[in-house]
Amino acid sequence: MSDFSAPVLAAIFATFFVAGLVKGVSGLGLPTVAMGILGALISPLTAASLLLVPSFVTNVWQLLAGPNFGKLLRRFWPMTLAIVAGTVLGSAWIARGDTGITTALLGLALVVYAAYTLFAQELNIAENLEPWLSPLIGAITGIVTGGTGVFVIPAVPYLQALGLKKEELVQALGLSFTVSTIALAIGLGSHGAFQSGNLAISTLAILPALAGMWVGQCVRNRISPKTFRRWFLVSLLVLGCEMAIRPFL
């Protein structure tokens, strides 16, 4: 199936279980958690390849669960096109296989995401700014996605700042993440870096990811999601700092 040893395979599946569990408890994005942990164990390029199928399945589910897909697509199509363009461009970094650069970039993305989520004040963006701001945010998100495999910066803070209703926000995030996942696959393929040999493992990783989400939803009522989320973000911040400075040690 792959060149991974049994212990590495076990670690990969355990990572997707943990990523699903965290998402089930606190709502954190499965791709961010998976890339953060896998990026510390294997190359970011390999981690991105393994991420594609579980990310696609869970994000399409999230996208189609809401009632306003057509409305949101009409509103955010400039952002989604920019995400695709930015991701294909940015994927040149991760496709080169220079683990020092991509590990540092991934670490930096995790630090920015964790620090923003922990400490930033809530933003509010006027709707009349969207025509020029959406493509800019999409392009930056795409470049970050292509270089690191992390989909959240700056798309998530931007969408949260638009004042969308809860259901619209969840579906808009699903749209952004789904497009990012597809664009990352296209970007890796366009640079000859799509690791098709890992497709079977990526497909099997859906099972522990969904199992983790189910366990996380069961655990949610037994612990404080806010406390869990805070300490996990602190851990993600520490992990990101270590990954960011690792190539320079």
pLDDT average per 10 residues of sequence, the chain (249 residues)? 79 93 73 84 86 88 79 93 95 78 83 85 83 95 89 88 83 90 91 78 93 84 75 83 80
Give the pLDDT score at 22: 81
Those residues with Cβ within 8 angstroms of residue 243's Cβ, 6 or more apart along the chain or in another chain: 36, 39, 40, 103, 104, 106, 107, 110
pTM: 0.84
Q: Is the sign of the CA dihedral 196, 30, 219, 234 positive or negative?
A: positive
- Between vectors from CA 204 to CA 201 and to CA 206, what angle results, nearest 5°? 120
How many whole angstroms separate alpha carbon 27 and alpha carbon 8? 27
Integer Cα distance of 8 and 101 in angstroms: 23
Q: What is the pLDDT of residue 225?
A: 67
Predicted local confidence at residue 158, as pLDDT: 92
Q: What integer pLDDT is reported at residue 213 of this predicted model?
A: 84
pLDDT of residue 76: 94
pLDDT of residue 149: 86
Phi, then psi, of 76 in degrees rounded to 5: -110, 15
DSSP state of 247: G
> What 3-state DSSP class applies to 219?
helix
CA–CA separation, 246 and 34 (whole Å):
19
Peptide bond into 7 cis (omega under 30): no
> What's the pLDDT score for residue 249?
66
Contact 44, 106 (CB under 8 A): yes
pLDDT at 242: 82
Q: How many CB atoms lie within 10 A of CB 63?
A: 21
